[in-house]
Amino acid sequence: MKEFEYLKPDSIKETISILSQFGEKAQILNGGTDLIVDMRDKIIQPEYLVDIKAIPQLNRITYNKQDGLNIGATVTLNEISNSKVVQTNYPILVKACKTVGSYQVRNRATLVGNICNASPAADTAPPLLVLEAKVNIIGPTGEKIVPINQFFTGVKKNILKKGEIVTSITIPPIKDKWTGVYLKQGRKKEVDLATVGVAVVCIRDEVRIALGAVAPVPVRAFKTEELLKGKTIDESLLEKAGKSALTEISPISDVRSSQEYREEIIKVLVRRAILQAKGGHIL
């Protein structure tokens, strides 16, 4: 790794000031599980590393029925998976967090880090999309809230501007009974990147669908959701849903999978996720 200066601010204000000052030359060090690999491979060579783990507000999980769930920037994936509050109220998020890497990685990797890294295959992204999460950002111009839908702007690109950091993610409360499913297809069942990821949330008759690893950014399948609106879910509708999902994505062939296989799997996983969310069995 190239030499750099290590800074450890203990306030958000200080962090923003550092990031604004150094711009491209600075990188945030959160969990480090993506960043340190990139630094070792010389893909990213920052001159300043800003460790945000000493900022007290960022490591909290809070929940109440009115405001929903708030997860701070430095909360690790294991902390989320082990949180009773998340297990009880948002089990789909627990499922997604647990599919990232290994237990060791999840002790360091963070939810916010996962979305800021903005890999098209990020496991936490599809569930956050169907939960309609909001990203809380603070920057030199003040605070703002960005719907998760708008947060990803390209492959490994997010909407953050110079000097801005994500302080937390808010998952709004769902006022009705609901179920959520996250299905991940990889080359192996564990410790693998997603070749395809599908998240579905069903709130009464509403079905929300999000797809990962099949487009430059993780996407909500709005057209497919529209197709399902108000209709009874049966085999033929599920088949139509799978085909419709294909029209909302643009999968590629890469070292992990071919485009054709991704297209096949999307159809299968969309069908299975909806079925499972609706309480049915995949068989």
Asked if 78 touches another protein (CB under 8 A), the answer is yes
User: Which of residues 191, 205, 231, 280 is near another protein by CB under 8 A?
Assistant: 191
The one among 65, 175, 177, 189 contacting another protein by CB under 8 A: 189
Residue 264 interacting with another protein (CB under 8 A): yes
Of the two residues 4 and 178, which places its CB atom closer to another protein in the complex?
Answer: 4
Binding residue for another protein, selected from 61, 193, 215, 227, defined by CB under 8 A: 193
Neighbouring C-alpha atoms within 13 Å toward the C-beta of 101: 19
Among 10, 11, 25, 37, binds another protein (CB under 8 A): 37
Q: Rounded CA gap, 275 and 176, in Å?
A: 19
Q: Is 91 in the site for another protein (CB under 8 A)?
A: no
Residue 14, class by beta-carbon neighbours within 10 Å (0-12 exposed, 13-18 middle, 19+ buried)? middle
Say whether 109 sits in a helix, a strand or coil.
coil
Give which of 63, 71, 204 is closest to 148, Cα–Cα: 71
Q: CA-based angle 283:181:272, to the nearest 5?
A: 35
Positive or negative torsion for Cα 242, 245, 247, 252: negative
d(CA 220, CA 207): 11
> What is the nearest approach in angstroms of another protein to the Cβ of residue 119?
12
- Least distance from C-beta 66 to another protein, angstroms? 32
Q: How far is the CB of 78 from another protein (least distance, A)?
A: 7
Strand partners, 201: 180, 208
Q: Which parts of 198-237 interact with another protein (CB under 8 A)?
A: none
Binding site for another protein (CB under 8 A): 1-6, 29, 32-33, 36-37, 40, 49, 51, 53, 78, 101-105, 107-108, 185, 187-193, 255-258, 260-261, 264-265, 268, 272, 282-283
